[in-house]
Amino acid sequence: MNATTETFASASKNAFATVEASTRSSFATFERLAALNINASRSALEDGIATVHALLSVKTPNELVSVSVALVRPTAEKTMTWFRSSYEILAQGVEEAAAPYETQYAEVNKAIGVALEKAAKSAPVGSETAVAAVQSAIAAANSAYDTVNKATRKVIQFTEANVAATTRAAVDAVSTPAPTKAKKSA
């Protein structure tokens, strides 16, 4: 009975440590996002002030077009940088928050394997089939977990590649001047 109490207490401490580590990681991610947003807001304020000053100095329609075009690319680049940075912070945060659970999963899995080996050695004659079935079920669950984990990582890599490609395409699209129509003479 004492070994069971100690095992439960140890498992509870490990579970709490896992939740604590994940929560601290999530809070750190929130702090990084807040800092990114504060800096982006400050930069947007400064850019807005500079834009108003630039627009107030315009004297002709051609100057207005010129100033407007000059402002588009930097704004698009800053916006795309913010999106990319936000995504990177969130992706890293999710991975860091999940890491303690993965570690605990591996430890629990190892403990279950040890417990099954002990149970198999002390099991009554004829129970080999039941022990093998439990071991097979655990192996299947571990295999399914590994498959889902690998698929999730591939989705994350694919998403990261798409974010990078979309960012480049968006900035290029904004910075490419629109074709002008030539006036036909009658």
pTM above 0.75, yes or no: no
The CA angle 165-171-177, to the nearest 5 degrees, is 130
> Residue 123 belongs to what domain range?
10-174
- On whether residue 97 sits in a domain, the answer given is yes
Q: What domain count does the chain have?
A: 1
- Compute the average pLDDT of residues 82-95: 90
pLDDT in tens, 32-68: 999 999 999 999 999 999 999 999 999 999 999 888 8
- On whether residue 183 sits in a domain, the answer given is no
The whole-number pLDDT of residue 93 equals 92
Q: Do residues 69 and 177 touch, judged by C-beta distance below 8 A?
A: yes
- On whether residue 66 sits in a domain, the answer given is yes
- On whether residue 144 sits in a domain, the answer given is yes
> DSSP for 81-145?
HHHHHHHHHHHHHHHHHHHHHHHHHHHHHHHHHHHHHHHHHHSPTT-HHHHHHHHHHHHHHHHHH
- Compute the average pLDDT of residues 139-167: 77
Q: How many whole angstroms separate alpha carbon 117 and alpha carbon 99?
A: 27
**Per the structure block, which two tokens stand in for 29?**
């991610």
Q: How confident is the model at residue 186 (pLDDT cuts 50, 70, 90)?
A: very low
Listed ranges 44-53, 64-73, 158-167; the one with the highest mean pLDDT: 44-53
- On whether residue 75 sits in a domain, the answer given is yes
- On whether residue 163 sits in a domain, the answer given is yes
Q: How many whole angstroms separate alpha carbon 100 and alpha carbon 106?
A: 10
Calculate the alpha carbon distances from 139 to 110, 119, 164 in Å: 12, 17, 38
The whole-number pLDDT of residue 107 equals 79
- On whether residue 125 sits in a domain, the answer given is yes
Q: Does residue 168 carry a pLDDT above 80? A: no
Q: Residues near 123 by Cβ (< 8 Å), separated by ≥ 6?
A: 130, 131
Phi, psi of 127 (to 5 degrees): -95, 10
- On whether residue 165 sits in a domain, the answer given is yes
The CA angle 15-119-138, to the nearest 5 degrees, is 55
Q: How many whole angstroms separate alpha carbon 153 and alpha carbon 126?
A: 42
Q: Does residue 94 carry a pLDDT above 80? A: yes
